[in-house]
Amino acid sequence: MLPLAIIELVTGAGLLLFWAGFFTIGLAPANPPECYLAYEHSFWLPDTILAVALITAAVRLRQGKTTGRSLSLACAGALVFLGVLDFSFNIQNGVYTSSTLDLILNAFINAWCVAAGVYVSVSLA
């Protein structure tokens, strides 16, 4: 369970760091689509809850508690949903084509969320 807990901790911390960066140093495309900021601002609260849940799941898994497994599975579904939803928005609104940096950053985040969600769910199946 150690690799699983590490992925959950890294993902939870990554979500929190993303939002810290978004609100402090402006992690937004140079020329975002008109709806971009409204869309992104709707995610800080659910992402923060997911981050706390991921970190809690990792701790519970390391402690050998069954709640860690259940919470991990719930987080896995949320991660896949988040990654696919962001991918869908980004592809439909040209976020990936706004700059190379936006492509790399957003594609990495989207792929990480989906891959981590799938890895967690498959690991616990």
DSSP-derived secondary structure for 81-114:
HHHHHHHHHHHHTTSTTS-HHHHHHHHHHHHHHH
Range of the domain at 7: 2-124
Residue with tokens 């937004």: 28
How far does Cα 79 stand from its chain's mean position? 6
Q: Evaluate the CA torsion angle 30, 41, 77, 2 in order and state its sign.
A: positive
The whole-model pTM stands at 0.91
Count of domains for the chain = 1
Per-residue pLDDT at 91: 95
Taking only the tens place, the pLDDT of each residue in 5-15 is 999 999 999 99
